């Protein structure tokens, strides 16, 4: 009997050991299979997540970025203790003790989920979450959970807790296109991660659980609930005191205000993007974390933005009111409750935003903009020539208004009526000495049209082309500013040019002919130079556009981009040397290695004597009474430049310069239709240039141009005999 029992027990032990061996073997086999296709984590410190490429202005301000995932990489010492405590408290209380898998945490989470009847807490460690984010798909399956655990163990064997928590903080998706806690802190709170308070750290730590569900922007109530849970966990883990926790939970959810789409230099940044992608590839630009140090100057660009938008609105208003864009009044509609999409963003003084006409009473109209009201009075719409608001607006109309002032106390505004211009404009400003582009505007609204009219639009130049004709004549010793020239009818075969005013003034000084932009003298000068001789000059000035070798180009019958023209003009204040325009000073990779560094590229164009002679001559349109650019005197400093107007007033130009800055403005319609009668370069474009320059040079010392000796630079100071001799050889 005893022998049989021993034999029976022996069989049971054998079967048990056999089953155990099979189970262990199967488990080992499964683990081997699952482990065979796992990535290696030993080189994880070399892992480079997708990073933001940032663009900097000339003084170091960030002016743009490119990214597929908006991420700001931080090191361990850049993560404040309160942020570390918040993350560990809510996600992995035993983080500093476990070796990748927390069996106690799994059991605790399972118990809580069982008691709640739903999943309220997960059992994954931070290291498991990191392994999933780095290497695995989001699928929920036993295979994936096993692989996640195995990867977590590998990570823990190869890296310190500090390294693991830092990688977690940099990689996690935080909602609204933000990756990593640093980017999320900047996006949600407008501050660096190192500066977050307890309630802000808790809000950030709350997001990894489910960024869409706990978004503080889309679901603030859920976000606060989850934030307060994180704060309670921090108290329970003794990371903060009970009083600190209660105080933090009382704090309201305060997010950084979302700005209107008023990027500083969208056309400039887009030019950079296209160049960078051509040079370094799309992946490097959008994922590589490049640092691009550009030439743009923030203050100059701000002045350019304002002046172009102001100038286009002024032009547009000269041509009348086109009516309200739409009407939202429908049967049963309550105008006091209708919300326009543009009102979701903060409204500030000087913003142009849509408003709803609530009613018109007498001469005034009552306007609603978000939760503000304003009275639109006759003086607020004087430019329309309407005597009363009711003449042009009716109840329910949606129109644009500029906010002149606003009072949050009584929710009142002061406004003026506006309309969006249909005309377009462009501006480029270049520093002559370095060739650095300091400002660029390519149109009225980048969001509506990405077409850059500063670099892509080929437009007829009109009289801004004439300086090149006179430069070639001066350089070839065929003409001098002290000479005279005959302004009289002339015919060149089938072509008989005429002056803008239809008049002829006979023998006049070259200075007067240039100042008043007389056409006949310019054509005669080019005839003496020879069209074929002019073309090489244009190429030296950097004009690469196709130029037909015909006499009408003397009057600007050539299509050229604004940036080419402005770059060519920089030759004059730079003593005859043109510096090739550049957007970028330096590009580095994420590690700081220099990929590209640009030094000024100099091109000799004309002699310094010719350049200084032309600078003197090109001041005549500004300083001479009757000059086409006489308005530029309002800058109250030496200015040289030239206006340009094309046939039928389709293009208006002004390009002018001081010793330190050359800027050009173009105004016109994309369709090449007329701007309207008498809409000349001096009337439409010059005021834009002047407004920008007045802002740029406010409170700056006056600069003087380099000049030739007095006997040749200005006839009012020259030797009388020399002037008489020059006048005697009047040009035909």
Which residues have a catalytic role annotated? Answer: 91, 463
Instruction: With H, G, I as helix, E, B as strand and everything else as coil, classify residue 188.
Output: helix
Find the helix packing angle between 242-250 and 220-236, rounded to 10°: 170
Cα(570)–Cα(656) distance, rounded to whole angstroms?
9
Cα(250)–Cα(252) distance, rounded to whole angstroms?
6
In contact, 161 and 95? CB cutoff 8 Å: yes
**Alpha helices (runs of H) in 430-584, residue ranges in sequence order:** 466-475, 510-515, 519-529, 531-540, 562-569
Kindly state the tokens that stand for 643: 């206006």
Report the candidate in 676, 577, 731, 624 with the shortest Cα–Cα distance to residue 667.
Answer: 676
Look up residue 421 and give its DSSP letter: -
In contact, 436 and 570? CB cutoff 8 Å: no
The residues with which 360 forms a beta bridge, in sequence order, are 365
Report the candidate in 369, 352, 356 with the shortest Cα–Cα distance to residue 444.
Answer: 352
| Beta-strand relationship, 412-418 and 372-376 | parallel
Half-sphere exposure of 367 (CA within 13 A, CB side): 27
Cα(502)–Cα(110) distance, rounded to whole angstroms?
93
**Alpha helices (runs of H) in 282-394, residue ranges in sequence order:** 282-287, 298-318
The residues with which 695 forms a beta bridge, in sequence order, are none
The region that residue 7 occupies, defined by phi over 0 for left and psi between -120 and 50 for alpha, beta otherwise, is alpha
- Interior/surface letters 479-506, b for 16+ CB within 10 angstroms, e for the rest: bbbbbbbbbeebeeeeeebebeeeeebe
Cα(572)–Cα(664) distance, rounded to whole angstroms?
14
In contact, 514 and 621? CB cutoff 8 Å: yes
- C-alpha to C-alpha distances, 479 to 341, 521, 528, nearest whole angstrom: 62, 11, 10
**Alpha helices (runs of H) in 172-207, residue ranges in sequence order:** 181-189, 198-206
In contact, 291 and 56? CB cutoff 8 Å: yes
Cα(664)–Cα(441) distance, rounded to whole angstroms?
11
Cα(340)–Cα(484) distance, rounded to whole angstroms?
64
Look up residue 369 and give its DSSP letter: E
* CA–CA–CA angle 437, 580, 61 (5° rounding): 25
End-to-end CA, the chain: 142
Cα(293)–Cα(280) distance, rounded to whole angstroms?
15
Report the candidate in 189, 169, 190 with the shortest Cα–Cα distance to residue 179.
Answer: 169
Q: What is the 3-state secondary structure (H, E, C) of 346-362?
A: CCCCCCEEEEEEEEEEC
In contact, 705 and 659? CB cutoff 8 Å: yes
Instruction: With H, G, I as helix, E, B as strand and everything else as coil, classify residue 367.
Output: strand
Kindly state the tokens that stand for 387: 């005597």
- Residue entry with tokens 């199967």: 26
Kindly state the tokens that stand for 695: 């802002």
* CA–CA–CA angle 60, 66, 68 (5° rounding): 145
């Amino acid at each position: 009997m005893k022998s049989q029992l021993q034999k029976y027990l022996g069989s049971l032990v054998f079967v048990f050991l056999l089953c155990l061996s099979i189970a262990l073997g199967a488990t080992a086999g499964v683990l081997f299979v699952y482990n065979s296709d796992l990535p290696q984590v030993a080189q994880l410190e070399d892992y480079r997540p997708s990073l933001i490429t940032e663009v900097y202005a000339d003084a170091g301000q960030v002016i743009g970025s490119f990214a597929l995932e908006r991420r700001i990489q931080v090191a361990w010492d850049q993560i404040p203790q309160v942020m570390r405590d918040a993350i560990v408290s809510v996600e992995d209380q035993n983080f500093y003790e476990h070796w990748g898998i927390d069996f106690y945490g799994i059991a605790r989470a399972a118990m809580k989920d069982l008691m709640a009847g739903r999943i309220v807490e997960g059992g994954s460690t931070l290291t498991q979450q990191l392994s999933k984010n780095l290497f695995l798909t989001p699928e929920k399956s036993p295979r994936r959970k096993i692989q996640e655990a195995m990867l977590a163990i590998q990570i823990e064997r190869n890296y310190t807790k500090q390294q693991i928590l830092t990688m977690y903080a940099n990689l996690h998706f935080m909602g609204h296109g933000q990756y990593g806690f640093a980017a999320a802190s900047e996006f949600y709170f407008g501050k660096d991660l190192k500066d977050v308070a307890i309630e802000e750290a808790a809000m950030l730590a709350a997001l990894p659980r489910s960024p869409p569900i706990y978004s503080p922007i889309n679901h603030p109530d859920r976000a606060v609930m989850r934030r307060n849970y994180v704060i309670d966990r921090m108290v329970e883990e003794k990371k903060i005191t009970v009083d600190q926790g209660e105080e933090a939970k009382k704090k309201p959810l305060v997010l950084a205000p979302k700005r209107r789409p008023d990027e500083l230099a969208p056309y400039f940044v887009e030019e950079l993007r296209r160049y960078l992608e051509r040079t370094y590839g799309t992946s490097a630009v959008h994922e590589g974390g490049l640092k691009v140090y550009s030439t743009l100057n923030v203050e100059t660009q701000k002045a350019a933005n304002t002046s172009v938008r102001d100038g286009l609105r002024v032009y547009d208003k000269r041509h009348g009111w086109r009516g309200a864009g739409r009407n939202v009044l429908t049967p049963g509609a309550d105008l006091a409750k209708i919300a326009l999409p543009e009102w979701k963003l903060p409204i500030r003084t000087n913003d142009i935003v849509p408003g709803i006409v609530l009613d018109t009473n007498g001469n005034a109209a009552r306007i609603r903009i978000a939760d503000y009201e304003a009275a639109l009075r006759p003086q607020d719409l004087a430019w329309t020539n309407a005597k009363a608001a009711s003449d042009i607006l009716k109840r329910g109309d949606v129109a644009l208004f500029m906010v002149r002032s606003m009072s949050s106390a009584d929710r009142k505004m002061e406004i003026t009526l506006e309309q969006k211009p249909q005309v377009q404009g462009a501006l480029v400003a270049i520093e002559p000495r370095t060739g650095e582009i300091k400002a660029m505007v390519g149109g009225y609204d980048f969001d509506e049209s990405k077409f850059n009219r500063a670099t892509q639009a080929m437009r007829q130049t009109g009289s801004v082309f004439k300086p090149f004709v006179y430069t070639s004549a001066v350089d070839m010793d065929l003409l001098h500013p002290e000479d005279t020239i005959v302004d009289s009818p002339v015919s060149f075969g089938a072509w008989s040019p005429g002056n803008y005013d239809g008049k002829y003034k006979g023998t006049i000084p070259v200075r007067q002919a240039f100042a008043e932009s007389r056409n006949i003298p310019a054509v005669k000068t080019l005839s003496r130079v020879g069209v074929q001789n002019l073309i090489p000059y244009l190429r030296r000035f950097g004009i690469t556009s196709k130029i037909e070798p015909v006499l009408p180009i003397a009057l600007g019958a050539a299509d050229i981009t604004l940036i080419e023209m402005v770059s060519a003009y920089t030759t004059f204040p730079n003593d005859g040397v043109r510096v090739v325009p550049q957007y970028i000073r330096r590009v580095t990779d994420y590690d700081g290695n220099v990929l590209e560094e640009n030094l000024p590229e100099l091109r000799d164009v004309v002699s310094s004597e010719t350049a200084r002679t032309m600078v003197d001559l090109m001041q005549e349109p500004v300083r001479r009474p009757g000059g086409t650019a006489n308005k530029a005197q309002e800058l109250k400093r030496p200015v040289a430049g030239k206006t340009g107007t094309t046939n039928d007033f389709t293009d208006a130009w002004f390009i002018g310069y001081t010793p330190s800055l050359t800027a050009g403005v173009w105004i016109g319609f994309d369709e090449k239709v007329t701007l309207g009668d008498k809409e000349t370069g001096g009337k439409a474009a010059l005021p834009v240039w002047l407004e920008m320059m007045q802002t740029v040079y406010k409170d700056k010392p006056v600069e003087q141009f380099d000049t030739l000796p007095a006997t040749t630079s200005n006839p009012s100071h020259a030797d009388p005999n020399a002037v008489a001799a020059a006048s005697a050889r009047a040009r035909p």
